């Protein structure tokens, strides 16, 4: 029993990371019906931004939680800006084209970003060590081991979800986003600035990816240029399992994937990677629109 709860805690932590990243996929898909395969690279950009910020400004100095929070906020905003820039340059001209074109463009962006980072002399192909943002503390309740970082990750994810829910459901820009995801042309006729809505979507998505990267790298502090693509694929699966286009679905899918993956890795570690795909295929064949997705009706 204690082992199950322990695995559940690990799974929730990994699941929160996946969920944060999956929200980005789902937001972008919900608004412009495009799968942004370069989304995982936003996570990588965010991690490197934090790494350089901390190592240039603070050196090896230990930073407190408040400063760490500010650093993560600044770097994730920067990543958000990068996301907006990428959308403007590479995806915006492709909006009216078939969706597969923007998917190919996203692959191009992904190849470009990863290899640009690998080629830049001050980054290089060697893995870097992520700075410790928070001093981690372990404590046990009964026989279950908790850590400060784990609690922070899970609770922070919940807070971000609530804020996101508030933005989308209660604010005017959230109303615009919902309108655009419902019908782009009609909402343009109603006076909604679609470009601004799409930029904001990419900003939010990239920002959440950077947050997710900060949590992931605090837990597994090895920075590589390819870290985004592996995590991105997983988060993408999570988004699809939950029902792409639905934010609650992304969270649900992320947590399910995290828990199942940790559970499988706890029993038979070789199969953990493949099993997420088995789950994906089963869910898609059983419910093609995902667990929480609404079936799309095709009009002639």
- Residue 220, sorted as left (phi over 0), alpha (psi -120 to 50) or beta, turns out to be beta
Closer by beta carbon to other proteins, 23 or else 240:
240
Q: What tokens does 104 get? A: 């190919």
CB of 196 to other proteins, least distance (A): 22
Question: What is the rounded (10 degree) CA torsion for 39, 83, 221, 242?
Answer: -40
Site for other proteins in 74-113 (CB under 8 A): 90, 93-94, 97, 99-101, 103-105, 107-113
Q: What tokens does 71 get? A: 């650093």
- Using DSSP's 3-state secondary structure scheme, residue 167 falls into helix
CA-wise closest residue to 216 among 46, 80, 62, 27:
46
Site for other proteins in 218-237 (CB under 8 A): 233, 236-237
Judged by CB under 8 A, which of 119, 129, 137, 155 binds other proteins?
A: 119
281 binds other proteins (CB under 8 A): yes
Window 170-209: contact mask with other proteins (x via CB under 8 A): ----------------------------------------
- Using DSSP's 3-state secondary structure scheme, residue 297 falls into coil
CB of 215 to other proteins, least distance (A): 25
Closer by beta carbon to other proteins, 119 or else 143:
119
Closer by beta carbon to other proteins, 55 or else 233:
233
Closer by beta carbon to other proteins, 64 or else 108:
108
Q: How far apart are CA 194 and CA 173, in angstroms?
A: 11
Closer by beta carbon to other proteins, 109 or else 251:
109
54 binds other proteins (CB under 8 A): no
Given 3-state DSSP classes, what are the helix, strand and coil percentages for the chain, each rounded to the nearest 5?
75, 5, 20
CB of 12 to other proteins, least distance (A): 24
Other C-beta atoms closer than 10 Å to the C-beta of 4 total 11
- Which residues 6+ apart lie within 8 Å of 14 measured at CB? 258, 259, 261, 262
Question: Residue numbers of the site for other proteins (CB under 8 A)?
Answer: 35, 37, 90, 93-94, 97, 99-101, 103-105, 107-116, 118-119, 125, 233, 236-237, 240, 244, 270-271, 273-274, 277-278, 280-281, 284-285, 288, 298, 300
């Amino acid at each position: 029993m204690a082992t199950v709860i322990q695995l559940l805690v690990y799974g929730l932590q990994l699941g929160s990371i996946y969920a944060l990243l999956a929200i980005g996929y789902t937001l972008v898909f919900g608004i412009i019906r495009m799968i942004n395969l370069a989304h995982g690279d936003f996570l990588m950009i965010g991690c490197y931004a934090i790494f350089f910020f901390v190592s240039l400004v603070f050196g090896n100095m230990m930073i407190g939680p408040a400063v760490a929070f500010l650093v993560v906020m600044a770097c994730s905003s920067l990543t958000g800006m990068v996301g907006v820039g990428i959308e403007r340059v590479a995806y915006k001209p492709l909006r009216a084209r078939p969706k597969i074109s923007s998917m190919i463009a996203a692959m191009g962006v992904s190849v470009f970003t990863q290899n640009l980072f690998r080629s830049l002399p001050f980054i290089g192909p060697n893995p870097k060590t992520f700075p410790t943002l928070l001093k981690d503390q372990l404590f046990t309740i009964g026989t279950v081991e908790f850590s400060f970082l784990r609690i922070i990750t899970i609770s922070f994810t919940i807070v971000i979800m609530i804020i996101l829910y508030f933005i989308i459901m209660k604010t005017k820009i959230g109303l615009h986003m919902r309108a655009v995801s419902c019908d782009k042309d009609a909402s343009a006729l109603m006076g909604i600035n679609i470009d601004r809505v799409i930029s904001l979507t990419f900003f939010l998505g990239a920002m959440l990816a950077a947050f997710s990267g900060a949590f992931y790298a605090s837990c597994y502090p090895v920075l590589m240029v390819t870290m985004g693509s592996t995590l991105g694929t997983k988060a993408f699966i999570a988004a699809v399992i939950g029902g792409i286009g639905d934010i609650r679905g992304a969270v649900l899918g992320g947590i399910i994937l995290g828990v199942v993956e940790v559970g499988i890795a706890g029993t038979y570690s070789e199969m953990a990677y493949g099993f997420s795909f088995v789950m994906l295929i089963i869910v898609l064949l059983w419910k093609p629109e995902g667990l929480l997705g609404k079936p799309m009706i095709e009009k002639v």
